[in-house]
Amino acid sequence: MTSDPAPSTGGTATIAVAIEADGWSGALPDPEALVAEAACAALSAACPDLGPATISLLLADDNAVSALNRDWRGKNGPTNVLSFPATETRAGESPKPEFDGVPLELGDIALAFETCQREATEQLKTLADHTRHLTVHGVLHLLGYDHVVEAEAEQMEALETRILAGLGVADPYAAEKLGDD
């Protein structure tokens, strides 16, 4: 299934969502609204002074994300979420558009249906909550957040947890924290 990108606006952000895998619409009542709400929540929390901005979000299947992963990252196989930032932004900074009056293109995010669904089941989470989490995670990557270095990972996870709590989603890292004795 392919749908034209359906822009959803939240504040000054426009989230263009394209669904290219049938599973998303069959498994979630309104996947476009769900990811747009999560993306806007992430933008509001991470960059409250961000001006007009756009994000393109693709709800794909494992095959499509696997091809993107191979072509752009040199890695074989699908992954749950891929982020392709259009700006070089450091965590905690609000990116600015190149030209006044032109919305800032933050980048693209792709989610893989089968991988997301499998992970949600394995982690005893709903697909909706896991999708919200991965959308927030992807947006934070577009805003310069990363999790390669432990201190940065802790900062990113804390922000994700706070954003998700505002969306009514339980801490996705709670099980890991219990094992940190």
60-64, 120-124, 177-181: range with lowest mean pLDDT? 177-181
Q: Into how many domains does the chain fold?
A: 1
Residue 47, in any domain of the structure:
yes
Residue 181, in any domain of the structure:
no
- Tens of pLDDT, residue by residue over 56-81, are 999 999 999 999 999 999 999 999 99
Residue 150, in any domain of the structure:
yes
Residue 26, in any domain of the structure:
yes
- Its domain, for residue 14, covers 6-171
What is d(CA 137, CA 145) in angstroms, rounded to the nearest whole number?
A: 9
Hey, what are 32's tokens?
């476009």
Q: What is the CATH number of the domain that holds 100?
A: 3.40.390.30
Strand order in 104-112's β-sheet?
6-10, 13-19, 53-60, 104-112, 81-85
Residue 99, in any domain of the structure:
yes
Residue 177, in any domain of the structure:
no
Residue 1, in any domain of the structure:
no
- Tens of pLDDT, residue by residue over 132-153, are 999 999 999 999 999 988 899 9
